[in-house]
A and B are shown apart, each in its own frame.
Chain A
Amino acid sequence: MARYGMVIDLKRCVGCNACAAACKSEHNTPAGVFQTKVLEKEMGRFPDANRVFVPVLCNHCERPVCAEVCPTGATYKRADGIVMIDYEKCIACLACIEHCPYRVRTLVRDRRTLYPDGRTPFEKPVHQKIRDNVVTKCDFCYHRVEQGRPPACCEVCPTSARVFGDLSDAASKAARLAREYAGWPMMPEQETRPCVLYIG
């Protein structure tokens, strides 16, 4: 069985946020909600200061704490490694948000995106409608992956900094990059074993 994951090349990423925009467009996420975004962290002191760009999303952990604490089974892990939320079952108890060490889950109070006059003239048909009062997060664009297409954020990335693939297949580009550049997970001490790895 595949173990889907993503390798993010921090050397290539320029913080352009095309991934964040693509994700918004693909999932029509509610106002202010990002299933992926690019964190910017200031480092050092002038004149040796710098800013690092770190794209973040659900890590689709091999040991997803969020699924462990979910009381209704709304959060679950698929056999191919994708961690999912069943919005029908989610009761917005926030246990997952409290326990996710990566803070990549968001509570949705109002699923709409509104113009200031209250109108929502545009709504793209999306594969899974996010509802009011659920928790949402990245689903690795499973609807695309099932069609053999990469997640929207990977397809769009102008510098090819995000590579999706089967980490269990040594020949996949993602696995090869992780191997060649010794990919690392975020917060390994949490022992969640993320399937999103970073190289730099």
Chain B
Amino acid sequence: MLADREKILPGDDVWIPTVCAGCYNCCGILAHRVRGRIVEIKGDPEAANSRGYICAKGLVRALDVHHPYRVTRPLKRTNPEKGIGVDPGWKEISWDEAMDLVGRELERIRAEDPRKLILSHFDIAGYRLSGAFGRAFGTVNMHWNRADYCGSASHPAWLITNGTLNSEVDFERCRYVVLWGTQLGHMVNTISLTAAAGLAEGRRRGHKLVVVDPFCSHAASKADEWLPIKPGTDGALALAMLHVMVCELGVYDVSFLKHQTNGPYLVRSDGRYLRDGATGKPLVWDLKDGCAKPFSDATLADPAIEGKFSVAGATVRPAFQVLKDYLATIRPEEMARICTIPLERIRRITREFCTAASIGSTIQIDGHTLPLRPAGIDFKRGMAAHRGGWNSCFAIHMLNLLVGAVDVPGGQRGVNPVGPYWSAGVSEDGLIIPSDFIAKYNKPYPGRTAAPPQTLDLQELFPAALFTRGLYPLGIDEPEKYGIPYRPEMMIHCRTNHMMNSHDPAAMAETLKKLKFQLSISLFIDETTEFADVVLPDAHDLERWDMFPANDPYAFIAPGPGQWYFLLRQPVAEPPGDAAPWTQIYLELAERLGILETVYRLGNAMWNLSEDCKLDPKRKYTMREIAELQVRSIFGTDFDMGRFARSSCAVLRPKTVQEAFPRMFLPSRVPIYLEYLLGHKQDVQKVLEQLGMQWDLSCYSPVPLWIPCAAHADDPEYDLIATNNKVPTHQFSTTTENLWIDEIAQANPYTYSVMIHTSAAQRRGLKSGDLVRVESRYGSYTGRLQVTELVHPECVLSSGTFGHWAKGLPISAGKGVNHNALLPKPTLDRIDILSGQIDMCVRVKVSKVGE
């Protein structure tokens, strides 16, 4: 066993510093252990991210550790039949027998074709470990989970502009904050505790907060203005705003566009860059010398961003002019009609945003004069999880880009694109690319070369995507349809619940049944674990060591000025029974398969271990030892690990101004015109032709398009659009088995309810408290109705991922509803062909089934 139980901090009545995993934010906490049992949790005052605070989800987790339904022994399925409601006939077996069963299957398929293995989890702290395992094993099918729940479409928008995965707004300086399909700063989303405090201070100081959302969410409730948009029409609103900004108001940051973007790059009539014959570099027009030069030419004085120029007989326009000409064709009245926000209101909001951006203003920080752009827009899953998700994200972000409010004081900013051991790079064309450390797997720009799919999530057909994890069911069900040369047979599953978080459970059940062998490493027998052949008991995260930093810094260390801090997750108590951390189980399996050395070799790179901290292939390491080497890689080999007895947080040093506000210090430019997509479009087209498939590739556009959802097509019988929102007390479905959270949710009129607008209820003769059935053409749920003014009249709204039915989840069973049950297995018209994002909105009808 590669266990390290003996290293748990001792004491009969102690507070042990560790890192919360109630969501993905990794807040520093102190857990109180009395005589071996965890009894309470509070924020760690010395942790730079939580500063002694903690949210409801984190605070209550002492209960979960003691949940009587936890799996504590390995289980084997005795009933070969699998399905919803089918009793697996669990039989307790020994750890060794379980590992033998799993090991034999793994050895068999590794010998046949290692790609038959799918690794599936949503545990961000462990991605680099399972990534190393997967590569060592030889599979490409890594990380089937519902990460597209939030970010398939939105992460690329930031990766190609901010050079990092996540986004925030400079709450300290911002005067005009727009939250678009996100509730950043309202105890959901990333950086939650610092963002909540920052936004609360901003409200006190008198910033303006505008929230775009079909539902008057917690964020919208705190906003100065709620823009209640029709679900999925965010791209239309953004394009209307862009039209007003550029074509009506004529407001944009000329200096920023000239020197910090590809706005001056000359574009040919076919949409591609005009390149220098000698260097291949994109050309720009120098207004001073009246000629075209490579963008990097040292003599370039005044690049043109507007106008039309003749170069070597061809008429070319700067990219910004192309964008401007395109925006002139947008009809704002039409966009306003689509998104249902009155045009006059759109005009006023845009004017306010432009004014607040204060183009031309500067601020002195540490001796540097930087632009001050105190207006910023953050956006995420609510607006992104639609068919036109990628284009809508880029349209919204364009509002930030055109006023220069990106990674400078006051505006929108990426989460730490530059750090102590990583930095955003620059492409041949002079544009920003995220560091290898940040991008981890794929870089949406420059992207990869399209090819016939080898991976079950079909990612090869999405060369400009970050990940396409929602598409695994397509590859698993019909690999031959996509030319995938093997059939998947095995899945190692933990910490994600496909049955709940994807689509119609009946369809997902068919997908899971196609896998001959499923190992689930689980805390509970949830709906997906019910399909397992072998279950190994997982340790709670309060019972395990974790990778250090416990979470990746591109997402969860507060961006902007402050300190570089990193947190260590350490166990507070021993796991019960045979339970072991899934990460340790991965290492044990690697050892059994004889691939541990390769895991170490790949891990050395994935974990960025320094020369004197690299794993020695001849040794064996526990998770704690690996975490310690990671600590020493960052803090130096003489770091005193004893410091973690006091706080899980260690501070490296203050951030420099270049790290806090990187834009003006970076050698790269930001794209406002996505020329590179045209190349990808051609490549994808060729591959599709080989496969005999036809996709509409119009979304591969250098300028952002309005792309409607399937749910926007008329369907008189299904006359409402269903969507869902996040609540601050719940995180995915992981919080639903907590007694206290459940009490709070039950006491809330909205959390477990189905919501429709008063007018929609009146037309149907429905009232609050009615039992209603919400039905799409693909699935349905039944829940209690709450009639409200807080929701768009064309919308049916529910919260979170509820409505569990597994016998192993006694608290959450039957409470709330599951929006995802309304969705079909992804079909072409419900996927963003560019990013792989699944469209989460769907047409439904609502009818009463009981009082």
Contacts and interface: CB of A to CB of B under 8 A. Distances in A.
Contacts of A40: 748-750
A77 to B, nearest CB: 28
A32 B143 CA distance: 38
B62 A158 contact: no
Nearest to A32: B743
A141 interface: no
Nearest to B790: A49
A44 B59 CA distance: 34
B789 A124 contact: no
B222 interface: yes
Given A12-B204, A14-B187, A31-B743, A115 B62 contact: no
A190 interface: no
A18 B740 contact: no
Interface in B746-779: 746-750, 757-758
Given A52-B221, A155-B42, A14 B66 contact: no
Nearest to B188: A16
Given A47-B226, A49-B789, A124-B62, A158 B218 contact: no
B219 to A, nearest CB: 8
Given A11-B203, A12-B203, A21-B60, A115 B39 contact: no
A16 B744 CA distance: 10
B62 A25 contact: yes
B740 A156 contact: no
A133 interface: no
Contacts of A50: 216, 220-221, 226
The range of chain B's interface size is 35 or more
A156 B45 CA distance: 10
A95 to B, nearest CB: 25
A157 B728 CA distance: 13
A49 B792 CA distance: 10
Interface in A131-181: 155-161
Interface residues of A, number: 45
A42 B197 contact: no
B228 interface: yes
Main SS of the interface on chain B? Answer: mixed
A17 B62 contact: no
B40 A124 contact: yes
B789 A21 contact: no
Contact of A11 (B55, B193, B204): B204
Most buried by A among B34, B63, B222, B739: B222
B62 A16 contact: no
| Chain A contact residues: helix, strand, loop or mixed | loop
B271 interface: no
A47 B193 contact: no
A20 B42 contact: no
A61 to B, nearest CB: 24
Given A16-B186, A50-B221, A115-B68, A21 B810 contact: no
B226 A158 contact: no
Given A21-B60, A25-B40, A14 B739 contact: no
Given A16-B187, A47-B226, A116-B810, A125 B68 contact: no
Interface in A1-29: 9, 11-12, 14-18, 20-22, 24-26
Given A14-B200, A155-B42, 16 more contacts: A9-B204, A17-B728, A18-B59, A21-B59, A21-B729, A24-B740, A24-B744, A25-B60, A44-B789, A51-B218, A115-B739, A116-B811, A125-B34, A159-B197, A160-B200, A161-B200
Interface of A: 9, 11-12, 14-18, 20-22, 24-26, 31-32, 34, 37, 40, 42, 44-47, 49-53, 113, 115-117, 119, 121-122, 124-125, 155-161
